[in-house]
Structure 1
Amino acid sequence: MNRRRFLRLGASVLGAGALAAVAVPSAALLLAEGRPGRLLDSDLPLPDAFQVPLPVPKTLAPVRTDAGADYYEITQQVARLEILPGVTTEAWTYGGTFPGPTIAARSGRAVVVKHRNELPVPSVVHLHGGHTPADSDGYPTDLLMPVGSSSDHAAHAMPGVHAMNGMPGTEHAKGRTVTGERTLTYPGLQRAATLWYHDHRMGFTGPGVWRGLAGFHLLHDEEEASLPLPRGDRDLPLMIADRSFAGDGSFHYPSADATLAEPGVTDGYANGVLGDVILVNGAPWPRVDVDRAHYRLRLLNASNARLYRLELDPQPSDGDALVQIGSDGGLLAAPVAHDAIEIAPAERFDVVVDFSRYAPGTQVRLMNRFGSGRTEEVMRFDVSSRAVTDDARVPDTLSTIAGLDPKAVTVTRDFAFRRSRGDGWTINGDLYEPGRDLAAPALGATELWRFTSDLHHPVHLHLDQFQVHSRNGKEPGPYDAGWKDTVDLRPAEAVEVLVRFSDYAGTYMIHCHNLEHEDMAMMADFTIS
């Protein structure tokens, strides 16, 4: 996209007056940042692709159950893991693994998770996509201090804490900072969906997730169970995340302050950090044996900033390789067939692949057409020659989804995602300030929220899933179907979403899920009452 076309498109989408009010990047910057991020090279030799078996994260067992809830315990801890073959990497983990253990929950049944922090830094846990009370949502200053940080003085001495001292609005959450352990409650009042949990600490979400603080939370229900979809070993959660490694095997990340006392990244990485190693479930370019049968692939982009265009190579002869059955918020009304899927950070796509369409012995690569060199390959499926039974199929109807009614909208709000004239990223021209509301929706109200952009921003809304109403004044795009909690907002775009605020009052967040943008202030509060 050249500068002239950007100006013309921006004027048509935003209005000439609105565009004139923001700093328009140069043509060179636009060409470099149409897809965000800067590559951070590893400092050690990278392994060959497709040598490591695909790991599947273990499912966490509850420590106890009662009539209405399942109770879990997770210790956040430093672990030394073999991620690259023959190399030891120190990771920040949930339960000693990367990804963390999977929580498998049932709709309508509460999940109660007690987190214990044995890391060298504070943490905040957010259930991404969860319909969650505000006190368990993971507000970014609701710090869980490490075990042993018993005094206020000790807390302020922790890496990254003093950077928040005196910040306007930090008094908003002072009462919700605790030491050692915190219990979070997820009522499960939502439909089956592929959710995930990750660190959400203000100013340090990027390095926290990069170092390993992420895991799956899979919600199931009777509607989903009644469908003849792949299950068991043919239901694969796939967390795709790029990373880079230092010469000693540690995670390589360009923190502006190596001690993590201050947030931010070094010059050149403000638009996102891209790794040169593609991990799936924590393994570099893995391979997996698959039957000639249907498989459900739960695709999660857990990268800080990297966008993917995922495509199978070779494609099946008659196309439509990836049959989408679900989005961030669960099942679609009907399947949507794709040759490729574009997935931004934090988005999830549930797809079914029928490997019986391939001859026995075929090696099918999952490719990233937005990548180049080593980052163009993601993983490989090796199609077995053994005879198997496959009862799975994709029905023509998956779910009944009631569309939100635009006529019920009580308020329309505009959110402009822009880079500031300094080093930060803004929403409606403001850097994030905890405790300052950008919106105050009424509980039970339906609103239309309009997002506009300068560059590329995956926009995430806490609490409630939304439906994409329009993209650039037209119909939603090919990847906008179903209930969403994260929408891919591309350069100079306008996307309208409909959202109904339900069940829980309190303060929640809207933010960019490019984690470097988020850490550099592209967040805002809204309070429901």
Structure 2
Amino acid sequence: MTLSRRRFIGAVGAGSTGLILPFAAGCDNAGHSDGAVQSGDVPLPARFSLPFKRPPVIQPTSSEGTTDYFDVRAFTTKAEILPGVQTEIFGYNGTFPGPTFSVRKGRTAVVRTRNDLPVPMVTHLHGGKTPAESDGYPTDYLLPTSGWTASAHTMHHAGMAMAGATAQGTRNYTYPNLQRASTLWYHDHRMDFTGPQVWRGLAGFYLVHDEEEDALPLPKGDRDVPVMIMDRAFNSDGSLAYPSIDPTLKTTPGVTGDAHNGMTGDVILVNGVPWPRFEVQGARYRLRLLNASNSRRYRVRLDPEPGSGDPFTLIGSDGGLLAQPQGMNSIYIVPGERFDVIVDFGRYAPGTKITMTNSLGDGSTAELMQFVVGAKAGDDTSVPARLSTLERLDPAKAVRTRSFTLARNSESGHYVYKINGYPFSTDRSWADIKRGDIEIWEFSSTTHHPIHLHLSPFQVYKRGGSTTLEPEDVGWKDTARLAPNQKLSVLVRFSDYTGKYVFHCHNLEHEDMAMMANFTVT
């Protein structure tokens, strides 16, 4: 991709809007509005008036050999997201977002999780190469310590079994961390209720580090910054606005109105802070960008750009470092995706205010945060021409090609989002795969869907039948953009664990309405 083409793509994106066009939230056609919700008369802060915050880093409770033990408790609490206003959240350890895990390759993390919420939960390590029993299969419920009546929960698809590896009160999730350094995240994955439970706060960063990355002269410490971007809406009393059919999240799943298209709000939060201001030194920073929104897509830009060169240097995607850095004028990021970028604030004069914008947004969603550049600082970092050695999967070695069509249907007065004509069922496996096999998976749809595979990372192979890819398609991925009427082909090698896993649309409202399917590795 040439620089001129990247700038052209960005210019096209600048003509889009986030709250008005169905394009922005992943709707099926132009006749459907998206699930945008405007905040009530609760006072919102002026943009860039609140300081940027980093989520707290959780420390192991204990360690034994090569295993670290962490204790996490999920419970309902109040958090000050808007100034002077208390908002009820679902919090991992009571924070919004949850604490950041900072782990090392080769050290197993055992996360001892206690559910003091009033509803079941399921934790999924997004991007993790995780044994099936700890992956967060959607019906592997961790039930509340206060008790639960399973019959209370009705399903989107009446024929689907409720059975799963249910635990009462507490569960240990084991993450071997036998994967390269990468920016992962964890979030709730409860069947039918992922959207509202993530919306209420059940998400956080999970950063894997290794010796290869440590040896590179990239920014570290305070200049290595996680940036979780999400949109939310608030009611007049400061509570989070989400149009659940059952606001208690105990019985009937689903949303009212057009929110089935994908829920979006008018308040942008970065690490849980609305439109924050980040005071930086005149030096290079590594920004770990995560789109943790339920359905909103972003095209991230910097305004103003530096006097010369690209504002972003892309060094990593979902699955870790790229082979070589890539200059970018903008970053298109769909829900669930991560991109690690270097921004050199030393190229700006002290005192410069730089806005991180969203050219797919409109009004309050067109700006994300602001950087205020301080004095020039000593900076011995650099971006090497070679970052890592990446194997490229060979399509000639693929043992088969599978095709999946994503579409929406109306049934019994509500929408169901299907894969190959079927809603999700715990009993149907769409792919039985021999461990170690390489396959080509093809996805198609008439509308936008972020495609996410559990367990096995993939490489984008073709778009629309062409091997000319988008600049964000580089490296190892676990989530990728499926554009309307454009076939997305990916190469996957299932070389890690055996068991039953899922793949699904990462528009969380689509996922909740059954746009998910099983695959089994043997």
Normalised by the length of structure 2, the TM-score is 0.92
Q: Which residue of 1 aligns with 2:513?
A: 520
**One-letter amino acid of the structure 2 residue matched with residue 40 of structure 1:** V
8 Å CA contact 1:169–1:436 kept in 2: the answer is no
Deviation at 1:148, TM superposition (A): 2.6
Deviation at 1:234, TM superposition (A): 0.3
For these two proteins, the number of residue pairs brought into alignment is 490
**One-letter amino acid of the structure 2 residue matched with residue 37 of structure 1:** D
Matched, 1:196 2:189: no
Q: Which residue of 1 aligns with 2:253?
A: 263
Matched, 1:491 2:484: yes
Deviation at 1:477, TM superposition (A): 1.3
Change (3 A) 1:156 1:52: same
CA deviations 1:391-450 (Å, max 9, x no partner) are 111111000001111111001100111112441111111111112111111111000000
**One-letter amino acid of the structure 1 residue matched with residue 36 of structure 2:** L
RMSD: 1.5
8 Å CA contact 2:234–2:241 kept in 1: the answer is yes
8 Å CA contact 1:240–1:280 kept in 2: the answer is yes
Q: Which residue of 2 aligns with 1:220?
A: 209
Deviation at 1:37, TM superposition (A): 3.4
Give runs of aligned pairs for residues 60-459 of structure 1, distance below 5 A. Answer: 60-149=58-147, 154-156=148-150, 161-164=152-155, 167-170=158-161, 172-173=163-164, 176-260=165-249, 261-385=251-375, 387-422=376-411, 423-459=415-451
In 2, Cα distance between equivalents of 1:415 and 1:490 = 14
Matched, 1:42 2:69: no
8 Å CA contact 2:156–2:513 kept in 1: the answer is no
In 1, Cα distance between equivalents of 2:428 and 2:343 = 45
Bigger shift: residues 290-299 or 469-478: 469-478
Change (3 A) 1:345 1:29: closer
Change (3 A) 1:56 1:389: same
Residue 188 of structure 1: SS of its match in structure 2?
coil
Moved over 3 A (4+): 164-169
CA deviations 1:31-70 (Å, max 9, x no partner) are 366xx83310111232210011111011110011111111
**One-letter amino acid of the structure 2 residue matched with residue 128 of structure 1:** H
In 2, Cα distance between equivalents of 1:37 and 1:335 = 36
8 Å CA contact 1:141–1:170 kept in 2: the answer is no
CA deviations 1:349-397 (Å, max 9, x no partner) are 0000000110110000000000011110000000002x42111111110
Q: Can you give the 5+ residue segments of structure 2 that lack an aligned partner in the other structure? A: 1-26
Identity among equivalent positions (%) equals 53
In 1, Cα distance between equivalents of 2:427 and 2:186 = 23
Q: Which residue of 2 aligns with 1:58?
A: 56
**One-letter amino acid of the structure 1 residue matched with residue 349 of structure 2:** A
Residue 378 of structure 1: SS of its match in structure 2?
strand
In 2, Cα distance between equivalents of 1:371 and 1:188 = 36
Q: Can you give the 5+ residue segments of structure 1 that lack an aligned partner in the other structure? A: 1-27
8 Å CA contact 1:419–1:454 kept in 2: the answer is no
Deviation at 1:269, TM superposition (A): 1.3
In 2, Cα distance between equivalents of 1:75 and 1:166 = 31
Q: Which residue of 1 aligns with 2:13?
A: none
Residue 303 of structure 1: SS of its match in structure 2?
coil
**One-letter amino acid of the structure 2 residue matched with residue 138 of structure 1:** G
In 1, Cα distance between equivalents of 2:323 and 2:156 = 48
CA deviations 1:163-190 (Å, max 9, x no partner) are 14994342652xx101110001011111
Residue 332 of structure 2: SS of its match in structure 1?
strand
Deviation at 1:335, TM superposition (A): 0.6
Residue 327 of structure 2: SS of its match in structure 1?
strand
Change (3 A) 1:518 1:420: same
Residue 518 of structure 1: SS of its match in structure 2?
helix
Residue 479 of structure 1: SS of its match in structure 2?
helix
Residue 133 of structure 2: SS of its match in structure 1?
helix
Matched, 1:462 2:424: no
In 2, Cα distance between equivalents of 1:280 and 1:145 = 30
Residue 124 of structure 2: SS of its match in structure 1?
strand
Q: Which residue of 2 aligns with 1:22?
A: none
Matched, 1:511 2:479: no
